[in-house]
Structure 1
Amino acid sequence: MIDDNYIDNFVTRRILESSNFAEEIIVSQSPAEAIRLLRDGDIIPDVIFLDIRMPIMSGFEFLQEYDALPINKNDIKIFMLSSSLDPTDMKESLSNKYITQFIHKPLTVKALEEICP
């Protein structure tokens, strides 16, 4: 998860844990830190839940940096997880080649079931 909001991270983590969604959940409150972890090979995620609106680096700016990373991106699914109701954010998310789906916060068990039947 890449999100600067502690409460959102807490809620999302609880949903993921209660659904047995992943063996390990890594939270980065900084997109720049997440880029470093990916670049250095410290993490190789199957799924990334990415927020849009964050200070210093937005989710879209993260995606630009992510694009330049010399890693295999074929097996990583990125879900934009945002509370944004801005249609421009949704359109930009869905037009990005790395975004699998836009999901409105908060993450729910039903949304998880829809992405991983």
Structure 2
Amino acid sequence: MENTLKILLVEDNLIEIMKMKRTISLLELNHTIHEAKNGEEALKCLEDKSNIPDLILLDLNMPKISGIEFLKIIKANKDLLHIPIVILTTSNNQKDLIECYKTGMSGYVLKPLKYEDYVKKIEKVLAYWSVNELIKA
């Protein structure tokens, strides 16, 4: 049985936020997307323990707190470290990839340039996490 996911999208680019929402709608998924435009805003969202997301989709290149810094903060917090975090980025920098895996991310997905390819990748990522046995906080 597929789960309806509560997703926290941490992304500073409005076009990327709109692209994600459009993709969810196009795929006719019932997942709930909450957005945070930077790491600080995302940390504020996570203070509400009654609304902990099932999955965090995280951009690496953001103002205030980088994606890697945000990932380290979450994985150091015993109340939040169970939340799977998938990096959605344009960075194919091997150093970033290795650092994210060392820090405990759940996946690393490069954003393709073509929208059709983006839809296919997001569909696969969300399909996996919607059938995965998630910890309900």
User: Which TM-score applies when normalising by structure 2?
Assistant: 0.72
Correspondence for 1:100:
106
Letter of the 1:87 counterpart: Q
Residues 65-76 of structure 1 aligned to structure 2 (within 5 Å): 65-74=73-82, 76=83
Aligned-partner Cα distance in 1 for 2:66–2:30: 25
1:21 deviates by 4.0
User: What fraction of aligned residue pairs are identical, expressed as a percent?
Assistant: 30
Structure 2 Cα separation of the partners of residues 27 and 13 of structure 1 = 10
Alpha-carbon separation, structure 2, partners of 1:49 and 1:31: 12
Query: Structure 1 residue 91 and structure 2 residue 98: aligned?
Result: yes
Match of 1:111 in 2: 121
Query: How far does residue 80 in structure 1 lie from its aligned partner after superposition?
Result: 0.3
Report the residue type matching 1:89 in the other structure. D
CA apart distance, 1:83: 0.5
Distance, in Å, in 2 between the alignment partners of 1:28 and 1:42 is 17
Aligned-partner Cα distance in 2 for 1:39–1:73: 13
Tell me if structure 2 keeps the 8 A contact 1:39–1:71. no
RMSD over aligned CA atoms reads 2.1
User: Amino acid of the residue matched to residue 111 of structure 2?
Assistant: K
Offset at residue 34 of structure 1 (A): 0.8
Aligned counterpart for 1:31 among listed residues 30, 39, 48 = 39
Equivalent residue, structure 2, for 1:63: 71
Counterpart-to-counterpart distance in 1, 2:47 and 2:35: 16
Single out whichever of 106-115 and 8-17 deviates more from structure 2: 106-115
Aligned residues: 115
In structure 2, the CA distance between the partners of 1:92 and 1:22, relative to structure 1 (3 Å rule), is farther
Rg larger for: 2
The unaligned stretches of length 5 or more in structure 2 are: 1-8, 129-137
